[in-house]
Amino acid sequence: MTNPVALIGYGEAGRTFARAAGWQSLARVYDLKPLEALLAKDGVTACASIEAALDESAQAICVVTADQALIAAQNAAPYLAAGSLYFDMNSVAPQTKRDAADVIESAGGRYVDVAIMSPVDPARLAVPLLVSGPYSEDGKAALVALGFTNVRIVGDDIGRASTIKMLRSVMYKGVEALTAECLIACEKAGVTDEVLASFGNDWSEQADYRLDRMLAHGLRRSAEMYESSQTLLALGVSPMLTEGTVGWQQSIGELEISPVPKGLKAKLAAIMGKMP
């Protein structure tokens, strides 16, 4: 990798990618938050504007919150060099991806729909990526050149990769919400140990992980699950349970429990201490 890569967004995904081997000297980061001290600590170039991040960059990776994905594309479009690859890795509905693609391609860029299919930490550049859209082949080659090792093309249509991600999240993040709902009720009733024991030997560990994800990323996951609900609606499927998932992810994220306690009992105690 020799050309600078613009990295729009410096949350968990952006920071994990930027700190990967070989990236620090070439990543040019723009984030809405003032993160200069953190970026300096990571040895990554901070840019004061999205224009500066895109200057001389033939490729851009966008990893922002779901509600900012289309806005980021609109802000980036005027500064993209002709033919630049724009990797939209945001967790949004397929229609949002198509809207963003229209903006990028109208400006002369090449839009690539990318879905991140597992937590980026600890996988880092080995995280599974699904790619779709008319520039999938070029996009995959560029991602591999950037060091990503698990990239798979799933089709020529923009939105196909994101559809797979959104519908998968209905199940995965829905189970997180059900876990929170069940265990909070169990704590109130004083029957947590009995109910957990009835689920099987490894269920406590799974519950611990699910609550960990909600406590650390509930607000971001809530925004993502709203996009999943829009995906379901577009398919003519009522998002009855997914709308509940949106609410639970939001509620747990809003507790702002940081650092996240270790162990299921400690997490539940912290949650119960902040809930009415």
Same domain, 61 and 190: no
Measured in degrees and rounded to the nearest 5, phi and psi for residue 105 equal -75, -30
Same domain, 249 and 130: no
d(CA 67, CA 141): 29
Same domain, 104 and 181: no
pLDDT at residue 21, rounded to an integer: 66
pLDDT at residue 2, rounded to an integer: 57
The pTM of the full predicted model, rounded to 2 decimals, is 0.91
Pick from 100, 129, 157: which residue ends a domain?
Answer: 157
d(CA 30, CA 10): 7
Count of structural domains, the chain: 2
209-224 pLDDT per residue, tens: 999 999 999 999 999 9
Same domain, 144 and 215: no
55-81 pLDDT per residue, tens: 988 899 999 999 899 999 999 999 999
DSSP the chain: --S-EEEE--SHHHHHHHTSTTTTTTEEEE-SS--HHHHHHHT-EE-SSHHHHHTT-SEEEE---GGGHHHHHHHHGGGPPTT-EEEE-----HHHHHHHHHHHHHTT-EEEEEEE-S-HHHHGGGS-EEEESTTHHHHHHHHHHTT---EEEEESSTTHHHHHHHHHHHHHHHHHHHHHHHHHHHHHHT-HHHHHHHH-TTHHHHHHHHHHHHHHHHHHHHHHHHHHHHHHHHTT---HHHHHHHHHHHHHHTT---SPPSSHHHHHHHHHHH--
Mean pLDDT of the chain: 93
Residue 274: Cβ within 10 Å count: 11
Same domain, 136 and 23: yes
CATH number at residue 268: 1.10.1040.10
CATH number at residue 9: 3.40.50.720
DSSP 47-95: -SSHHHHHTT-SEEEE---GGGHHHHHHHHGGGPPTT-EEEE-----HH
Same domain, 33 and 149: yes
Residue-number span of the structural domain to which 220 is assigned: 162-274
Measured in degrees and rounded to the nearest 5, phi and psi for residue 183 equal -75, -30
User: Is residue 256's pLDDT more than 70?
Assistant: yes
| Across 56-60, 139-143, 260-264, least confident range | 56-60
